[in-house]
Amino acid sequence: MKKAILTLKIISTMMLISWKLYSQNETVTIGNKVWMTKNLDVDKFRNGDPIPQVRSSSEWEKAKANKQPAWCYYEYDSDNGTEYGKLYNWYAVKDARGLAPEGYHIPSEDEWDALKTYLGEGVADKLKSDFDWSNIYGRSCNGTNESGFSGLSGGYCWENGIFGMRSSEGRWWSSTASIGGLAEAFSLTCASFGWETSSKQFYMYSVRCLKDY
């Protein structure tokens, strides 16, 4: 019995340390808002419950059919998680157990809009990282990262569990639902200025967190 209690205490302590370390991740202040400078990379909800990982297109289809919170690595390859973090569906974003670490939240559509408005002209270049971006012809389209946001071209997973646009697009969920089973997301591409896109909630995008205020 004592051994079981000790094991539970160790597990609980490790979970708290993990969340504390992540909550102390690098941040940048843009306007009067504090953003994390890396994509979310957690596999547990704030309460410690595991978020199911999908490792194949069949598992992706199952999560879609059940409207189940899930995450994956781009092309199911953990090597992609080192730089780009994890991709999440919107069911994970809105789960009541909390996807964002303590003290942070997933930005709403209005908060993404406020970021765009504050940065003004050339917002995409100011948000995009100054490395790793290239268009379909292989030509560099890096940003200046003037804002410090360090937006990465992490791609996404969409219809039928197909991955795409790694190196030329990044998409991040908002917490805002839309009509018809859709939700709002923010996109950076080689060509765009930074725009919102209404997406199916079973798509899997990156997530950035914004500090509570």
Q: How does pLDDT run across 6-32, given as a tens digit for each residue?
A: 333 333 333 333 333 344 469 999 999
Classify residue 139 as exposed, middle or buried by CB count within 10 Å of its CB (0-12, 13-18, 19+).
Answer: exposed
What pairs with residue 206 in β-bridges?
172
Mean pLDDT, the chain, whole residue set: 87
Cβ-Cβ contacts under 8 Å for 58 (sequence gap 6 or more) = none
Residue 153 in this model has a pLDDT that exceeds 90: yes
- The pLDDT-based confidence of 170 (bands split at 50, 70, 90) is very high
What pairs with residue 134 in β-bridges?
140
- Confidence at residue 194, expressed as pLDDT on a 0 to 100 scale: 62
Strands 156-157 and 163-164: antiparallel
- Alpha-carbon 212 to chain mean position: 17
**Per-residue model confidence as pLDDT tens digits over 40-93:** 999 999 999 999 999 999 999 999 999 999 999 999 999 999 999 999 999 999
**What does the block give as tokens for 1?**
């019995």
Cβ-Cβ contacts under 8 Å for 157 (sequence gap 6 or more) = 60, 72, 74, 87, 163, 203, 204
- Confidence at residue 137, expressed as pLDDT on a 0 to 100 scale: 77
- Total-model pTM: 0.87
Residues in the chain: 213
- Confidence at residue 196, expressed as pLDDT on a 0 to 100 scale: 76
**Per-residue model confidence as pLDDT tens digits over 173-211:** 999 999 988 999 999 998 766 677 899 999 999 999 999
Report the C-alpha gap between 180 and 118 in whole angstroms.
Answer: 30
**What does the block give as tokens for 83?**
């730089």
Asked if 4 contacts 87 with a C-beta cutoff of 8 angstroms, the reply is no
- Confidence at residue 5, expressed as pLDDT on a 0 to 100 scale: 39
- Confidence at residue 22, expressed as pLDDT on a 0 to 100 scale: 43
